[in-house]
């Protein structure tokens, strides 16, 4: 075999569209999972709060505290320094969406825990008659605060990504809205799963709401992609990657067919058939969940940097 | 005061001296480079040429990496240099994503296997671990050799003029393509160059206001090739390697006469 001399490698990756890998490949998969659980936890908790379903609220809280936070934690290069990102140990919350997100998530975790306890006590008559008024008041305040911080926790992920001018596909104000609406639609799917196990869920009402959210979501995603393709050459490249490139299978099968079309079809069936059978409900829950995983994966995967020398013929 | 650098592309002889000087100066781990040479191909009447473009952290005045850092580990010094305090970095890599110039590196275990993986560290490496300890799990980037600048300021030296207070890459550049100095001082070498030549900043439209400027906007054009006077053995050696590589990738290339 011919012996070849090794030369210093030059860097071609800055003049060609290069996908970010830090937040989706290797250890970056943890960020993907954390992002997915942010959306699922937010959706489930807010929907459960709206429909007053304690088990749904508990599951939403667990998804955030037991899944999202640990995944974020283990992703960090220096996990035990995490406290440095939390006010008052940092003043970076003025500009950093990550610091804000940490704060929102911790605030939510604390307020929701108190709310879960007070709601449980009130629902099971564990409060002394003389204290019912006070506990009810605390419960409502905690519901408001936990709901608010939950919404902020769900939306900050989108803002953290949309802040990055380096990646045109993310750099749009629509991204946080897409994430929140998709999260709420998935929350509606998950609450049906909770209802299948614990009961006490009005499936008909959930399916009605689901139809609206899925429709809005489909429109939002379409608008988002059209907007991104018009925004810049790199944005257009990202959209092509998503629609016909390496991420196309995940997008069409995961996001469109399983995430939107299948749940929509099931909810339309419920419109005519009335109460859905448990297998169909399980299918709806599963397809919603796979849709959530697929959406975040696709968005992270086609996050392509603007080439540093974008006007070169190579691009 | 705001330190900046002007890179004259017409002088750069692509010798990789700046890359090597930076690696030695900062005892950089095996797979990490702070100064990089971008390679790109151009075609003129069927003749394909490969050019290089030196890049490093742009020390942006409006640095996105500073804004996104959740801990304040990435911060801007009063002299405009963006510094990372490794002991504060949590390794979230948000700055790596947010940097439009892709000039930040997350130091993972894979990037730092030692200079001779599987073998004991060399004395050079051992010394480097003490003099310039890079922390795994944190982000790193070019810092304009701020230890040299700080040393110079303490000893009444002028960065960009006195070698001991000037970044290693600037000192090493054989073609004198790199010029360093205070952008706010109208009499500094960099300010004079900016007045006399037409400088460009990378991705100026993003509003980051980089402190690294490039002379000669004809990127990839014929005028961007180094003059014969600047060509050295290393330059020719490098070009021949690039040409050989280009022929491997594009076997249909015609002879460049």
Question: Residue B131 falls within a domain, yes or no?
Answer: yes
What are the C-alpha distances in Å from A73 to residues A30, B22, B97, B251? 9, 33, 18, 49
Q: What pLDDT, on the 0 to 100 scale, is given for residue A212?
A: 94
Asked whether residue B248 carries a pLDDT value surpassing 70, the answer given is: no
Instruction: Give the pLDDT confidence of B171-228 residue by residue, as tens digits.
Output: 999 888 999 999 999 999 999 999 988 788 888 889 999 999 988 655 444 454 544 4
Find where tokens 């490098």 sit: B238
Question: Residue B257 falls within a domain, yes or no?
Answer: no
Number of domains in chain A: 1
The answer to whether the CB atoms of B90 and A310 lie below 8 A apart is no
Does A308 lie at the interface with B, CB-CB under 8 angstroms? yes
Number of domains in chain B: 1
Instruction: Give the pLDDT confidence of B53-98 residue by residue, as tens digits.
Output: 789 999 999 999 999 999 999 999 999 999 999 999 999 999 999 9
Over residues A5-28, the mean pLDDT reads 73
Asked whether residue B152 carries a pLDDT value surpassing 60, the answer given is: yes
Instruction: Give the pLDDT confidence of B153-175 residue by residue, as tens digits.
Output: 999 999 999 999 999 999 999 88
**Which of the four pLDDT bands, split at 50, 70 and 90, describes residue B231?**
very low
Higher pLDDT, B251 or A119: A119
Structural domain of residue A129, as residue ranges? Answer: 18-305
Over residues A86-95, the mean pLDDT reads 91
**Which of the four pLDDT bands, split at 50, 70 and 90, describes residue A8?**
very low
Residue B160, classified by CB atoms within 10 Å of its CB into exposed (0-12), middle (13-18) or buried (19+), is buried
Instruction: Give the pLDDT confidence of A131-151 residue by residue, as tens digits.
Output: 999 999 999 999 999 999 999
Does A8 lie at the interface with B, CB-CB under 8 angstroms? yes
Question: Residue B256 falls within a domain, yes or no?
Answer: no
What are the C-alpha distances in Å from A253 to residues A182, A223, A248? 16, 19, 8
Q: What pLDDT, on the 0 to 100 scale, is given for residue B197?
A: 83
Question: Residue B208 falls within a domain, yes or no?
Answer: yes
Question: Residue A311 falls within a domain, yes or no?
Answer: no
As given in the structure block, the two tokens for residue B87 are 């002991």
Asked whether residue A2 carries a pLDDT value surpassing 50, the answer given is: no
Question: Residue A144 falls within a domain, yes or no?
Answer: yes
Asked whether residue A215 carries a pLDDT value surpassing 70, the answer given is: yes
Question: Residue B40 falls within a domain, yes or no?
Answer: yes
By residue count, chain B amounts to 257
Residue B215 β-bridge partners: B8, B199
Read off the CATH number of the domain in which B225 is found.
Answer: 3.30.70.20
Q: What pLDDT, on the 0 to 100 scale, is given for residue A310?
A: 57
Structural domain of residue B184, as residue ranges? Answer: 3-249
Q: What pLDDT, on the 0 to 100 scale, is given for residue B243?
A: 56
Q: Are A84 and B90 in contact (CB under 8 A)?
A: yes
Asked whether residue B245 carries a pLDDT value surpassing 60, the answer given is: no
Asked whether residue A208 carries a pLDDT value surpassing 80, the answer given is: yes
Find where tokens 């960099």 sit: B190
Q: What pLDDT, on the 0 to 100 scale, is given for residue B232?
A: 47
Read off the CATH number of the domain in which A26 is found.
Answer: 1.20.1630.10
B195 contacts: CB under 8 Å, gap ≥ 6: none
Residue of B97, B202, B238 for testing the chain A interface, max A β-carbons within 10 Å: B97
Instruction: Give the pLDDT confidence of A97-136 residue by residue, as tens digits.
Output: 999 999 999 999 999 999 999 999 999 999 999 999 999 9
Residue A67 and residue A287: Cα distance in Å, rounded? 20
Q: What pLDDT, on the 0 to 100 scale, is given for residue B71?
A: 96
Does B235 lie at the interface with A, CB-CB under 8 angstroms? no
Asked whether residue B12 carries a pLDDT value surpassing 90, the answer given is: no
DSSP A253: I
Give me the residues of A, 80-119, that contact B with CB < 8 A. Answer: 81-82, 84-85, 89-93, 95-99, 102
Does A14 lie at the interface with B, CB-CB under 8 angstroms? yes
- A-B CB pairs within 8 A amount to 155
Chain A residues touching B72 at Cβ < 8 A: 90-92
Nearest to B100 among A15, A95, A166 (CB): A166
Work out the minimum CA distance from B199 to partner chain A, whole angstroms: 15
**Which of the four pLDDT bands, split at 50, 70 and 90, describes residue B244?**
low
Residue A255 and residue A277: Cα distance in Å, rounded? 24
Question: Residue A13 falls within a domain, yes or no?
Answer: no
Question: Residue B254 falls within a domain, yes or no?
Answer: no
Q: What pLDDT, on the 0 to 100 scale, is given for residue A6?
A: 36
The answer to whether the CB atoms of B71 and A15 lie below 8 A apart is no
Report the percentage of chain A scoring pLDDT > 90: 80
Q: Are B101 and B57 in contact (CB under 8 A)?
A: yes
Asked whether residue A85 carries a pLDDT value surpassing 80, the answer given is: yes
Find where tokens 């491997």 sit: B248
Instruction: Give the pLDDT confidence of B112-121 residue by residue, as tens digits.
Output: 998 888 889 9
Q: Are B58 and B5 in contact (CB under 8 A)?
A: no
Question: Residue B139 falls within a domain, yes or no?
Answer: yes
Asked whether residue A315 carries a pLDDT value surpassing 80, the answer given is: no
Question: Residue A5 falls within a domain, yes or no?
Answer: no
Nearest to A22 among B66, B96, B245 (CB): B96
Asked whether residue A1 carries a pLDDT value surpassing 50, the answer given is: no
The answer to whether the CB atoms of A164 and B97 lie below 8 A apart is yes
Give me the residues of B, 15-44, that contact A with CB < 8 A. Answer: 16, 19, 36-43
Q: Mean pLDDT over all residues of chain B?
A: 84
């Amino acid at each position: 075999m011919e012996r070849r001399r090794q030369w210093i490698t030059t860097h071609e990756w800055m003049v060609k569209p290069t996908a970010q890998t830090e937040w989706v490949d290797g250890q970056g998969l943890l960020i993907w999972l954390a992002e997915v659980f942010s959306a699922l936890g937010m959706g489930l908790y807010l929907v459960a709060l709206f429909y007053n379903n304690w088990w749904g609220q508990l599951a939403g809280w667990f998804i955030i505290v037991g899944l999202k936070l640990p995944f974020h934690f283990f992703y960090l290069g220096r996990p035990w320094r995490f406290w440095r990102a939390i006010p008052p140990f940092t003043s970076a919350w003025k500009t950093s969406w990550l610091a804000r997100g940490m704060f929102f998530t911790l605030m939510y975790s604390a307020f929701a825990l108190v709310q879960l306890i007070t709601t449980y006590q009130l629902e099971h008559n564990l409060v002394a008659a003389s204290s019912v008024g006070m506990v009810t008041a605390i419960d409502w305040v905690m519901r408001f605060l936990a709901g608010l911080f939950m919404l902020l926790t769900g939306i900050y992920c989108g803002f953290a990504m949309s802040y990055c001018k380096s990646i045109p596909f993310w750099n749009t104000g629509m991204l946080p809205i897409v994430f929140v609406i998709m999260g709420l639609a998935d929350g509606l799917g998950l609450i049906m799963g909770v209802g299948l196990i614990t009961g006490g869920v009005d499936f008909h009402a959930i399916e009605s709401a689901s139809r609206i959210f899925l429709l809005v979501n489909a429109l939002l995603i379409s608008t988002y992609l059209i907007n991104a393709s018009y925004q810049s050459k790199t944005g257009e490249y990202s959209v092509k990657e998503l629609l016909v490139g390496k991420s196309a299978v995940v997008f069409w099968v995961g996001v469109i067919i399983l995430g939107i079309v299948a749940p929509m079809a099931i909810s339309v069936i419920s419109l005519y058939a009335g109460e859905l059978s448990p297998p169909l409900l399980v299918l709806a829950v599963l397809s919603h969940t796979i849709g959530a995983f697929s959406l975040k994966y696709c968005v992270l995967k086609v996050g392509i940097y603007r080439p540093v020398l974008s006007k070169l013929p190579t691009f | 005061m705001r330190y900046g650098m002007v890179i004259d592309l017409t002088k750069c002889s692509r010798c990789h001296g700046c890359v090597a000087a930076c690696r030695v100066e900062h005892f950089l781990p095996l797979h990490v480079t702070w100064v990089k040479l971008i390679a790109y191909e151009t075609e003129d009447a069927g003749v394909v040429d490969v050019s290089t473009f030196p890049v490093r952290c742009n020390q942006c005045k409006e640095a996105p990496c500073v804004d996104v850092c959740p801990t304040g580990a990435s911060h801007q010094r009063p002299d405009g240099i963006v510094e990372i305090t490794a002991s504060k970095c949590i390794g979230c890599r948000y700055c790596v994503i947010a940097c439009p110039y892709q000039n930040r590196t997350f130091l993972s275990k894979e990037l730092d296997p030692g200079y001779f993986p599987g073998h004991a560290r060399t004395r050079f490496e051992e010394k480097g671990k003490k003099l310039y300890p890079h922390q795994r799990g944190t982000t790193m980037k070019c810092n304009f050799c701020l230890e040299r600048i700080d040393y110079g300021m303490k000893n009444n030296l002028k960065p960009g003029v006195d070698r001991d207070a000037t970044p290693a890459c600037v000192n090493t550049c054989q073609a004198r393509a790199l010029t360093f100095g205070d952008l706010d001082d109208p009499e500094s070498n960099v300010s004079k160059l900016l007045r006399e030549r037409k400088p460009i900043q990378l991705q100026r439209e993003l509003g980051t206001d980089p402190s690294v400027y490039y002379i000669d906007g004809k990127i990839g054009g014929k005028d961007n090739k180094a003059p014969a006077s600047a060509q050295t053995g290393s330059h020719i050696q490098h070009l021949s390697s690039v040409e050989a590589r280009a022929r491997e990738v594009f076997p249909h290339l015609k002879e460049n006469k």
